[in-house]
Structure 1
Amino acid sequence: MSGAGETIGGRFELLEQLGSGGMGMVWRARDTALEREVALKEVRPLDPALAETHPETSRLLRERVLREARALARLSHPNVVTIHHIVDADPHPWLVMELLPGESLQDRLAGGPLPPSDVARIGRDVLSALDAAHTAGIHHRDVKPANVLLRSSGSAVLTDFGIAAVQGSTTLTASGDVIGSPEYIAPERIRGDDLPASDLWSLGMLLYVAVEGVSPMRRATTLATLAAVLDDPVPPPARAGALAPVLAELLVRDPA
């Protein structure tokens, strides 16, 4: 377990924890070579048992992490988090990213739903980020409010592309845990298909939640949520206004 004061890769000093997810902890850190603060994320496998049960698969997924991180690092886009450096360490690699001030969309929504005009602006930014990523051959696979950071200027930045590399083509780990966020997963992803359009479904669900203040697919259990995503109709939004047709277009099951 990493701790404050530890130096990663002989260069990046961990300062404080910023948050955690299924793939590991995110830290505020200091780049001692360039004397600037950065965000550091340890990319752990979503299925901890994989290295022991399927070492070759674990090795291939690690290579995929590094390959997609390098592809993402080549992206220069105002709505995509910038990757500055990769530390190929044992037992897990670390991504060195720009440190973004501001709050996440999830934090913002804790105060209630947003006006349609604000949601539309966020949606345009995230869509632009996804378009750039898809053009580079990268699918996000976990578009949700917690992975959208809002700058003080109001622009949105899409973060946490790590799941795109570590999950492979499955939705469940060997232990049965769901990879991704169930209420935002596209139906075709639950069935094992991997399409760029799946990110657009997740974007549509994100916008729905942002403007309505509730998730239309969330149920009492994960399995019930997944079943709802597969089969239940999406209730017509009540607060979306001019955004309603956009949501209807994004939230289409089984896109071609």
Structure 2
Amino acid sequence: MTTSPRSGRRFVGPGERFELVDHIGSGGFGDVWLARDGMLGREVALKFLALERLAGSRPDPVRVPQIRDRFARESLIAAKIDSPYVARIYDCHMGNETPFLVMEYVDGEPLSAHVGITPLPLARTCRWSSQIAQGLAAAHDQNVVHRDIKPGNVLVRETDSDVRIVDFGLSRFIDATETRSAAGTPLYMSPERCRAEPGDERSDLYSLGCVMYEMVTGWPPFGDTRADPIALAQAHQDKAPTPPRAQVPGVPSVLNTLIMDLLAKDPQQRPHNARAVVHAIKEVERDLNASGADRRIEGPAPDPSASVTDNGFEDQLSAAELAVRRLTWKHGQNHALVITARMELADLTGHSGDVRGAAELYDRLGRDCSAWFGPGHGRTLDAFEGMARWVSARSREIH
């Protein structure tokens, strides 16, 4: 087959092995489709190479084969990454048709759907940041640098709320094929990448710092999606970010220090590698667990029968978040069981040591209940009462 999937054909690959099921999205690289592997009977994601766009309107006859060869090489390198937190590459099909990657299909939504509104609970920030760092460590072990770590390239699985990093190797491929500028996203780009330098593993760590900053504050360290890319690049190179603790009270000092270290302008001043970041996040989690263990706050106590790992409340929080999603899917957002589950998640978040996160979860629930049932409804009042309880606990903690 030599036809693009957009022509209406529903099968691609050797022997029409892959059935196209749904068009997931498009980007500078090309189209992404959910497909069914007819041979292995599993769902996969197919990422098609936008060969014509990358080659230009008047491509050199030599350029197209070069792009295809580079695509195959970068795919082979990225496929060597072995981590539960990196979306796997199963195959790369060149043939005579539009080249495409066969990748693990991640049933979930990007991290960008979770950030950019309000700060995330600290326990969730630590969990997802640690998983991203572990994925980066596995990639860096294979000398693979992502070069475009951002919330849109981190997917959160629906089934277990674990993350998967996607698009490893594609930024380096675009760097080699595009001549205008280095690949990357200005909101999360390291100073050296803003200067169109190749960068290394510590460039990924800077981008991780930008993502973590957004998790704990609700916005990136510099600007927003409407900001001028040139101004953003200048800020990354010259401007010192405001410490997260100065933006949002309640950010632990050790987490604040880690994020600021990741955002150092000089790569030599950032953490040595991704595993050092994982270790630092464990220190943050230990501090949170220790402070949470000493608190005695009115409200539902954590389930003593729940599984608790060395990370304290991590498994309980993950199970509570999953329960909220499953109940929402089954009953709808405003069902009593969903509201109760959200309250339990908020209280568990507070008991884990994240008092600020508990208050914010209750506040969000109160606003939702007010919209659904009215400001004077019992569920609305219960939610705001829960928020007030944790706000009071936070005030006692500060003073």
> Which TM-score applies when normalising by structure 2?
0.58
Partners of 1:46 and 1:184 in 2: how far apart?
A: 28
TM-aligned CA distance change 1:24 to 1:169, over 3 Å: closer
Deviation of 1:115 after TM superposition, in Å, equals: 1.4
Partner of 1:167, secondary structure, is: helix
Give the 5 Å matches for 1:1-256. 1-3=4-6, 5-9=9-13, 10-44=16-50, 48-50=54-56, 52-53=58-59, 56=62, 59-90=65-96, 92-109=98-115, 112-151=118-157, 152-168=159-175, 173-174=178-179, 176=180, 179-194=183-198, 195-218=200-223, 220-238=227-245, 239=248, 240-241=251-252, 242-256=254-268
Q: 1:107-153, CA deviations, whole angstroms, 9 ceiling, x for partnerless residues?
A: 12265321122111111111111111111121101100011111232
Partners of 2:176 and 2:197 in 1: how far apart?
A: 8
Q: Which has the higher contact order (CA 8 A, sep 6+)?
A: 1
Amino acid at match of 1:116: L
Q: 1:149-206, CA deviations, whole angstroms, 9 ceiling, x for partnerless residues?
A: 1123222111112423422369xx44x4662111111101122322211011001001
Deviation of 1:18 after TM superposition, in Å, equals: 1.2
TM-aligned CA distance change 1:211 to 1:43, over 3 Å: farther
Structure index of larger Rg: 2
Deviates more, 1:62-71 or 1:97-106: 62-71
Amino acid at match of 2:241: V
Partners of 1:146 and 1:46 in 2: how far apart?
A: 24
TM-aligned CA distance change 1:138 to 1:44, over 3 Å: farther
Amino acid at match of 1:184: Y
TM-aligned CA distance change 1:51 to 1:126, over 3 Å: farther
Partners of 1:124 and 1:49 in 2: how far apart?
A: 38
Partners of 1:252 and 1:41 in 2: how far apart?
A: 34
- Give the aligned length: 253
Q: What percentage of aligned pairs have identical amino acids?
A: 35
Deviation of 1:47 after TM superposition, in Å, equals: 6.2
CA contact (8 A) 1:24 1:42 kept: yes
Write out the 4+ residue segments of structure 1 that deviate beyond 6 Å after TM superposition.
none
CA contact (8 A) 2:110 2:154 kept: yes
Partners of 2:262 and 2:141 in 1: how far apart?
A: 19
Return 5+ residue gaps in structure 1 as ranges.
none
Name the structure where strand makes up a greater proportion of residues.
Answer: 1
TM-aligned CA distance change 1:80 to 1:46, over 3 Å: farther
Deviates more, 1:111-120 or 1:77-86: 111-120
Partners of 1:45 and 1:120 in 2: how far apart?
A: 39
Partner of 1:180, secondary structure, is: coil
Partner of 1:37, secondary structure, is: strand
> Which TM-score applies when normalising by structure 1?
0.88
Partners of 1:133 and 1:54 in 2: how far apart?
A: 33
TM-aligned CA distance change 1:185 to 1:62, over 3 Å: farther
Return 5+ residue gaps in structure 2 as ranges.
269-399
Amino acid at match of 2:215: A
TM-aligned CA distance change 1:56 to 1:187, over 3 Å: farther
Root-mean-square deviation (CA), in Å? 2.4
